[in-house]
Copies of this chain bind each other. A is one copy, B any other.
Amino acid sequence: MNSKKKVSIAVVRRLPRYYRYLSDLLELDITRISSKELSARMGITASQIRQDLNCFGGFGQQGYGYNVESLFNEIGNILGLNNKFQMIIIGAGHMGQALANYSNFEKRGYKLVGIFDVDPGLIGKKIKNIEIEHYDKLEEFVKHHRVDVAILSVPYDRTRMVADKVASLGIKGLWNFSPMDLKIPYDVVIENVHLSDSLMVLGYRLNEKFKCKKNK
Query: Could you tell me which A residues sit within 8 Å of B by CB distance?
Result: 6, 9, 12-13, 15-17, 19-20, 24, 43, 78-81, 83, 85, 93-95, 97-99, 101-102, 104-105, 108-110, 148-149, 172-173, 175, 179, 181, 189, 191, 193-210
Contact = CB atoms under 8 A, between A and B. Distances in A.
13 contacts: A12-B205, A15-B201, A20-B194, A24-B181, A94-B97, A95-B95, A102-B195, A108-B203, A110-B199, A172-B206, A175-B199, A189-B202, A189-B205
The 10 closest A-B pairs by CB, nearest first: A94-B98, A16-B197, A95-B98, A191-B202, A94-B97, A80-B203, A16-B200, A191-B198, A79-B200, A189-B205
A127 to B, nearest CB: 10
> What is the total number of copies of this protein in its complex?
2
A78 to B, nearest CB: 7
A80 to B, nearest CB: 4
B9 A43 contact: yes
Given A12-B204, A95-B98, A173-B206, 11 more contacts: A6-B208, A13-B201, A15-B204, A79-B204, A80-B206, A94-B97, A104-B196, A105-B199, A108-B199, A108-B200, A149-B206
Contacts of A191: 198-199, 201-202, 205
Given A98-B95, A104-B179, A210-B172, A19 B205 contact: no
A201 B16 contact: yes
Contacts of A110: 199, 203
Contacts of A196: 16, 102, 104-105, 108
